[in-house]
Amino acid sequence: MNKNIAVYPGSFDPPTNGHLDLIERGSKIFDELVVAILRNLDKDPLFSVSERVAMLEALTANYSNVRVDTFDGLTVDYAAKMGASSVLRGIRALSDYEYELQMALMNRKLRPELETVFMMPAEKYSYLSSRLVREVAQLGGSVKGLVPELVEQNLRGKLDPAYKLAEFRAPQAEKSESRKSRPRKKA
């Protein structure tokens, strides 16, 4: 029997608990789920594609039927290449609907045999987006409970303004000590 394969495409910059919630739901209804990160050269992402792959691989390691990949070009072409019959997307609120409907219908026009399957993440993540997580973290707010701990740590390593402020205020000796233990900021 043919495997029921779905592609879950997105930017995942960074992956949130909402994405993870959807991956878990998707892993239950599809035989195989491919989490596919768009390699978009136009965007200026916070995390590089390889950083996002590493995070998603670690976060989905417990699901035997989930794997992580990257793609460019059209989602429908990538889905066909992977032998997928469905594209999985999350809908959080009514505001997502118009954009998702447009995308699903365009994808249907391009490849009618590919179905878009919408799933709703848990209510507690219904306001959550990668963009808001980036903004809150960049401005020093807490994203605890909104992203997995691994993502929180990586965000802290990249951005933590409170950390930088504390370091600025710290006496010289502490400063050099803290620098040793501090994760290196990526270029």
- Which residues contact ligand PNS (rule: CB under 6 A)? 9-11, 38, 74-75, 103, 106-107
CB of 150 to ligand PNS, least distance (A): 19
Instruction: Output 38 or 133, the one with its CB closest to ligand PNS.
Output: 38
- What does the block give as tokens for 41? 């050269």
Catalytic residue among 19, 52, 89, 134: 19
Tell me, yes or no, if 25 is annotated catalytic: no
CB of 119 to ligand PNS, least distance (A): 14
Contact 134, 15 (CB under 8 A): no
CB of 179 to ligand PNS, least distance (A): 35
Residue 103 half-sphere exposure, CB side, CA atoms within 13 Å? Answer: 18
- What does the block give as tokens for 108? 């249907």
The Cα–Cα gap between 41 and 91 comes to 25
CB of 26 to ligand PNS, least distance (A): 14
The Cα–Cα gap between 115 and 39 comes to 22
- Please identify the residue of the shown chain whose CB is closest to the bound ligand PNS: 10
Which letter, b or e, does each residue of 38-55 get, where b requires 16 or more Cβ atoms within 10 Å of its Cβ?
beeeeeebbbebebbbeb
Catalytic residue among 28, 43, 131, 186: 43
What DSSP element (H or E) covers 79? helix 75-81
Instruction: Output 80 or 170, the one with its CB closest to ligand PNS.
Output: 80
Give residue 140's region: left, alpha or beta (phi > 0; psi -120 to 50).
left
Tell me, yes or no, if 92 is annotated catalytic: yes
Measured in Å, how far apart are the chain's first and last C-alpha atoms? 48
Instruction: Output 116 or 154, the one with its CB closest to ligand PNS.
Output: 116
Instruction: Output 9 or 14, the one with its CB closest to ligand PNS.
Output: 9
Tell me, yes or no, if 130 is annotated catalytic: yes
Tell me, yes or no, if 19 is annotated catalytic: yes
Q: What are the residue numbers of the active site?
A: 19, 43, 92, 130
